[in-house]
Amino acid sequence: MSSLLSIKNMSVNFDTPRGSLEAVRGVDIEIPAGMSVGVVGESGSGKTVMCRAAMGLLQGSTVNRTGTVIFDGHELTAMSKEQVRELFGSGMAMIFQDPLTALNPVRRIGVQLSEGLRVRLGMSKSDAMARSKELLELVRIPNAAAVLKSFPYQLSGGMRQRVMIAIAISCNPKLLFADEPTTALDVTVQAQILQLLRELREDLKMSMVLVTHDLGVVAGNTDYVAVMYAGEVVEYAPTKKLFADMRMPYTEALLNSIPRVDHKSGTRLTVIAGRLPDPTNRPVGCSFAPRCKYAQDKCTTDHPELKTDPDGHIYRCWFPIGESL
Amino acid sequence: MAGSGTAHMRNTVDSVLTVRDLTVEFRISKNKIVKAVSGLSFDVVKGETLAIVGESGCGKTTMARAILQLPPPNSGEVIFDGTDLTQLPKENLRSARTSMQMIFQDPISSLNPRLTVHQLIDEPLEIWDRGTRVERDERINKLLFSVGLEPDLVLNRRSYEFSGGQCQRISIARALALDPRMLICDEPVSALDVSIQAQILNLLLFMKETHGLTMLFISHDLAVVKAISTRVMVMYLGKICEVAPPDVLYTKPAHHYTRALLNSVPIPDPTKQIRTELLQGEPPSPMNPPSGCRFRTRCVGASALCAEQEPQLREISPGQFVACHHPIV
């Protein structure tokens, strides 16, 4: 299967007053064309930084990115800022977590939506407006003509997120990064937005990277899942396989800590004690060892490398689940 | 469905809190009134955890604040421990509030950033003159220890030095300082990570058992509610849709709105995706709620009757009450 995006050995460091902060460490991910890949982990595990670094959105003297990112035959890491920007919109696009702050508060929806169409596709002002109206209808916004003339503050959170999606898909991108697209929304609106993304992906033949902290969202909306912890990918497998046969203790612990509607009421949750390690001072061995119930001596002294099962299931653990000691 | 009625009231002597016909309205301009809570009645029995579920804007938080008289409701009764809080003079209300504490949604902004943890927890004890300096310090240490914080490490630090989960632990310690009988938790875990969320939920369950608390637990997350509640009340646009014990509500929802909410919850199991009948659109404006049943504009089972007549709560199976003309059977 050909990869649309492949990230090889990417690391991102931030210089901070407390020393170098390793937000992403040696990440390898392949996004197969036409597929949807979920990136899961707790806050601070490096999910967002990984996506933004892949798109080249992190800039400034305090950011150090190493490794290679190849998108659709282009090596992004070897291109200039201007060349990478040419790919935004028609190559790859992003939906951000907070739809209110991602939209410009003082410009009307129509102006923001038609901007990409005019710049990227060279449409005239009136053509771009007409297409914008179609896009709003495509993301199921009722009364699209009125919404084109509205400002973001006049719309609800769910409506704003639909506008964000309309902007992201306006130039037919091949790859859509969705960074926690439903975290700020109600559960009913979340279900609507996820359904919309599934349908658009099918109609437009788009690949998607879906970043979320919710394993429930991943289960129904992705083909592959990458689990991140402390800046590293700790498990990567097809979604069905991951849920059926977890190898990494962290993934298991994360799943068990979720309250579920399909469990009996009053069921005590299994807790992952403690919190993520300090990103300026990571443990020597496995990053998850201090919180892991299966941890042995080796886990605190030696850093585990990624292992690949014959069926392609990738994990980072000395003593994976399902293997006798 | 969102309807009125009192069939679900138990009127027992064990009631810690009884709310009758609570109405909260906000006037936002000369002719515009937001009807946030409309004629809500319910009771909470000793030792119970009543969960209140609904979408943003359905009046959950307004209702909780009206119970604490922050601000007082436009009309209705709030009877706590035999006294009607809406009729109490200000000074008596202050002392009544000591036995009824609240935990807020945003753990960091609900703590004063200029006070140390010691000052934060000492404040209620000092105001109500609970014991000598030594006794109070001992109490503070005990409270912090019980919520899983190391007193020596945290006492002299301020809220911005802590993570969201730790701040929520401090909030819980502060709320329990005066030994309340009732705890009102307003979305206490929605701002937290899944792994931290589980820690805080388990802590609340533990505190409820050890302190013999009665809880009102507000959340928009049905999965969280299922883990912690003994009775669930579903709200829509300021009215009650359904009241039932969690196991009944989750397996046999009678209200179309309850079922739609349940269908929206993502299940972390790719082999078990139920995606039938998603709710479309968004709730109508509470300034101009629909006639009759307030849910009828988004309901798949709505008929002409729903527009004319408001459904009343009625018992359709033991302990399960629903306000709907055409409940799911």
CB atoms closer than 10 angstroms to residue A200: 18
CA distance A9 to A231: 12
The average confidence (pLDDT) of chain A is 90
- Taking residues A249-261, report their average pLDDT: 90
Minimum mean pLDDT among A125-134, A198-207, A261-270, B218-227: which range?
Answer: A261-270
Minimum mean pLDDT among A273-277, B29-33, B39-43, B231-235: which range?
Answer: A273-277
Q: What are phi and psi of A282, to 5 degrees?
A: -75, 150
Q: How far is A208 from chain B (nearest CA, A)?
A: 18
- Let me know whether A185 and A271 are in one domain: yes
Q: How far is A291 from chain B (nearest CA, A)?
A: 11
Strands (E) across chain B are located at 15-27, 33-45, 49-53, 75-80, 83-84, 100-103, 182-186, 214-219, 231-236, 239-244, 314-317, 320-322
- Best of A261, A292, A293 to mutate (most B CBs within 10 Å, chain B): A261
A99 inside domain: no
pLDDT per residue over A198-222, tens digit each?
Answer: 999 999 999 999 999 889 899 989 9
Q: How many residues does chain B have?
A: 329
Predicted pLDDT at B1: 42
Q: How far is B132 from chain A (nearest CA, A)?
A: 35
Residues 6+ apart with CB under 8 A from A163: A99, A103, A109, A112, A113, A136, A139, A141, A147, A152, A155
For residue A243 the two structure tokens come to: 């849920």
- Let me know whether A253 and A215 are in one domain: yes
Predicted pLDDT at A29: 92
* A215 interaction partners in chain B (CB closer than 8 Å): 194, 268
* DSSP string for B220-234: S-HHHHHHH-SEEEE
Alpha helices by DSSP H, chain A: 47-55, 81-87, 99-102, 109-121, 125-138, 144-148, 157-169, 187-204, 215-221, 239-244, 249-256, 297-301
Residues 6+ apart with CB under 8 A from B260: A188, B277, B278, B279, B298
CB contact under 8 A, A220 and B270: yes
CB contact under 8 A, B279 and A270: no
Predicted pLDDT at B100: 93
pLDDT level of residue B275 (50, 70, 90 thresholds)? low
Residue identified by tokens 């849910």 is: B295
In the predicted structure, residue A1 carries a pLDDT above the cut 60:
no
CB atoms closer than 10 angstroms to residue A277: 18
Say which amino acid occupies B314.
R
Predicted pLDDT at B276: 60
pLDDT level of residue B10 (50, 70, 90 thresholds)? confident
The answer to whether A100 faces chain B, any CB pair under 8 Å, is no
A323 inside domain: no
- Best of B108, B150, B195, B218 to mutate (most A CBs within 10 Å, chain A): B195
Instruction: Work out the widest C-alpha separation in chain A, in whole angstroms.
Output: 68
**DSSP summary character for residue A71:** E
| Helix axis angle, A125-138 to A157-169, nearest 10° | 120
* B194 interaction partners in chain A (CB closer than 8 Å): 42, 213-215, 254, 257-258
pLDDT level of residue B212 (50, 70, 90 thresholds)? very high
Predicted pLDDT at A325: 52
Instruction: Work out the widest C-alpha separation in chain B, in whole angstroms.
Output: 68
The answer to whether A61 faces chain B, any CB pair under 8 Å, is no
**Residue numbers of the domain that contains A156:** 104-170
Q: CB burial class (10 A; 0-12, 13-18, 19+) of residue A184?
A: middle
Say which amino acid occupies B196.
I
- Taking residues A244-262, report their average pLDDT: 90
pLDDT per residue over B55-84, tens digit each?
Answer: 888 899 999 999 999 889 999 999 998 899
Q: Which of B163, B194, B260 sits opposite A258 (nearest CB)?
A: B194
- The strand order across the sheet containing B231-236 reads B100-103, B182-186, B214-219, B49-53, B231-236, B239-244, B320-322, B314-317
Q: Which of B163, B265, B279 sits opposite A261 (nearest CB)?
A: B265
CB atoms closer than 10 angstroms to residue A309: 13
- Let me know whether A149 and A232 are in one domain: no
Share of chain A above pLDDT 70, in %: 99
* A261 interaction partners in chain B (CB closer than 8 Å): 222-223, 226, 250, 262, 265, 267
CB contact under 8 A, A219 and B273: yes
Q: Which of B163, B195, B270 sits opposite A239 (nearest CB)?
A: B270
CA distance B158 to B112: 8
Q: Which of B199, B227, B281 sits opposite A259 (nearest CB)?
A: B227
- Let me know whether A211 and A113 are in one domain: no
Residue B71: cis peptide before it, omega within 30 degrees of 0: yes
- Let me know whether A212 and A195 are in one domain: yes
* B202 interaction partners in chain A (CB closer than 8 Å): 268-269, 271
pLDDT per residue over B109-134, tens digit each?
Answer: 889 999 999 999 999 999 999 999 99
Predicted pLDDT at A98: 81
Where does chain B hold its CATH 3.40.50.300 domain(s)?
15-99+179-322
Cβ(A15)–Cβ(A69) below 8 Å: no
CA B9 vs CA A85, B172, B247, B252, B255: distances in Å: 62, 29, 19, 21, 18
The average confidence (pLDDT) of chain B is 90
Chain B's closest residue to A272, CA to CA, is B195
Predicted pLDDT at A270: 85
CB contact under 8 A, A43 and B193: yes
Q: Which of A240, A160, A173 is nearest to A200 (CA)?
A: A173
CB contact under 8 A, A216 and B221: no
CB contact under 8 A, B194 and A214: yes
pLDDT per residue over A96-119, tens digit each?
Answer: 888 878 899 999 999 999 999 999
- Taking residues B139-168, report their average pLDDT: 91
| Helix axis angle, B164-176 to B133-146, nearest 10° | 130
* A257 interaction partners in chain B (CB closer than 8 Å): 194-195, 197-198
Q: Compute the C-alpha angle A208/A211/A212, nearest 5°.
A: 135
* A218 interaction partners in chain B (CB closer than 8 Å): 268
Size of interface A-B (CB pairs under 8 A): 141
How high is the ipTM of this complex?
Answer: 0.82
- Taking residues B130-152, report their average pLDDT: 93
CB contact under 8 A, A213 and B194: yes
**DSSP summary character for residue B249:** H
Domain boundary among A170, A196, A228: A170
CB contact under 8 A, B227 and A269: yes
- Let me know whether A231 and A282 are in one domain: yes
- Taking residues A117-128, report their average pLDDT: 93
Cβ(B191)–Cβ(B25) below 8 Å: no
pLDDT level of residue B274 (50, 70, 90 thresholds)? low
3-state secondary structure A108-136: CHHHHHHHHHHHHHCCCHHHHHHHHHHHH
* A262 interaction partners in chain B (CB closer than 8 Å): 267, 269, 272
Q: Which residue has the higher pLDDT, A267 or A198?
A: A198
CATH superfamily, with its number, for domain B15-99+179-322: P-loop containing nucleotide triphosphate hydrolases (3.40.50.300)
Q: Which of A187, A213, A264 sits opposite B220 (nearest CB)?
A: A187
Cβ(B313)–Cβ(B319) below 8 Å: no
Chain A's closest residue to B226, CA to CA, is A265
CB atoms closer than 10 angstroms to residue B275: 13
- Taking residues A74-100, report their average pLDDT: 90
CA distance B1 to B299: 8
- Taking residues A288-309, report their average pLDDT: 92
- Let me know whether A294 and A166 are in one domain: no
Cβ(B217)–Cβ(B228) below 8 Å: yes
- Let me know whether A156 and A287 are in one domain: no
Number of domains into which chain A is organized: 2
CA distance A106 to A114: 15
- Taking residues A284-300, report their average pLDDT: 92
Q: What is the CA radius of gyration of chain B?
A: 21
CB atoms closer than 10 angstroms to residue A28: 15
Q: Which of B163, B222, B282 sits opposite A275 (nearest CB)?
A: B163
Predicted pLDDT at B321: 95
CA distance A160 to A243: 32
In the predicted structure, residue B12 carries a pLDDT above the cut 60:
yes
Q: How many residues does chain A have?
A: 325
CB contact under 8 A, B268 and A260: yes
Q: Which of B120, B100, B87, B103 is nearest to B16 (CA)?
A: B100
Domain boundary among A117, A141, A170: A170
Domain boundary among A145, A170, A195: A170
CB contact under 8 A, A261 and B220: no
CA distance B5 to B23: 14
Q: Which of A250, A213, A100, A48 is nearest to B189 (CA)?
A: A213
The answer to whether A292 faces chain B, any CB pair under 8 Å, is no
For residue B126 the two structure tokens come to: 């000092």
Share of chain A above pLDDT 90, in %: 67
pLDDT per residue over A150-183, tens digit each?
Answer: 999 999 888 999 999 999 999 999 999 999 998 8
Q: How far is B226 from chain A (nearest CA, A)?
A: 5
CB contact under 8 A, B279 and A192: yes
In the predicted structure, residue B2 carries a pLDDT above the cut 60:
no
Q: How far is A141 from chain B (nearest CA, A)?
A: 9
Minimum mean pLDDT among B3-12, B259-268, B283-292: which range?
Answer: B3-12
Predicted pLDDT at A5: 95
* B278 interaction partners in chain A (CB closer than 8 Å): 188, 191-192, 195
CA distance A233 to A28: 8
**DSSP summary character for residue A291:** G
Q: What is the SS3 assignment for B151?
A: helix
CA B328 vs CA B25, B290, B306, B321: distances in Å: 32, 21, 15, 12
A98 inside domain: no
Share of chain B above pLDDT 90, in %: 65
